[in-house]
Amino acid sequence: MKKSVPFNSSEASRSIIYRLEEATGKSIEEILSDGIDEERLERFRRVSLIEKELGVPLPYLTGRAYFLDMELFVGPGVFIPRPETEVLLLAVLDHFKEDEPRNILDIGTGTGALAIYLARRFEKSAVTAVDISPVALRYAEANARRYRLSNVRFVLSDVFGALRGNEKFDLIVSNPPYIPRDEVRKADPSLSWEPRIALDGGADGLSVIRKIIEGLDVHLSPGGSLFLEISPLIAPSLEELLSSGRYELEYRRDLDGRIRVARIRRRYP
């Protein structure tokens, strides 16, 4: 069954639609047209009860998550892709033509959602996806095999650490951990099931983002862009990190009007 949650749905409605579709095995169009029989409705109730009582995220119960038009393998040890990350991809598609060959890097790939989507859309491009977690890379590789991609490779790496020193990219994307450590402790209990390394951005939420920015002079081609998913709370600190003048910074907002994505473009010399 192909999932049908549209780009312009609110996060709350997307969550409800996702749960209904997953529990009933029917698309939202089929549900609205045909209704839900008692057996499927009971399944939805049971799944919702397990989520509520144990706090286990639904994708960990089913082994699947849905991101745009993709169905992805997920499980404990890998971050579950979120609908708000779609804003990052929309920003990329607004700035880059799909038929032009690019060298693309996805930092902190997790399930491979960003890398796989970009490899499918930018067929002439070479995509490299890195993650510090061997568990996450196993899921990412399995998801890439599912879509029979030949233009994406996966590397076990802490940001740029395992890449060649002179390797440059025209486009870098990342959904890094950006929640300050103290806030992680106060976060929704369901997040405790997901890998802390994918959430914890250090004392100020910028520990991984700093590493990425420090490597841009070496790994981002002149004229190239980095697209980062961020929290609006760290935007002022990000601007301070980029005060050298070598980079242009602009933001993309989500459906709620909050800053969600930073585009950092390297100026030509």
Half-sphere exposure of 117 (CA within 13 A, CB side): 22
Determine what percent of the chain is predicted with pLDDT higher than 70: 79
Delimit the domains of the chain by residue range. 11-54, 83-266
CATH number for the domain running over 83-266? 3.40.50.150
Nearest CA to 79 out of 161, 151, 184 is that of 184
Structure pTM? 0.83
Express each pLDDT in 22-48 by its tens digit. Answer: 666 666 666 656 665 666 666 666 666
pLDDT per residue as tens digits for the range 72-91: 999 999 999 998 999 999 99
pLDDT band at 15 (very low <50, low <70, confident <90, very high): low
Average pLDDT value over all residues in the chain: 86
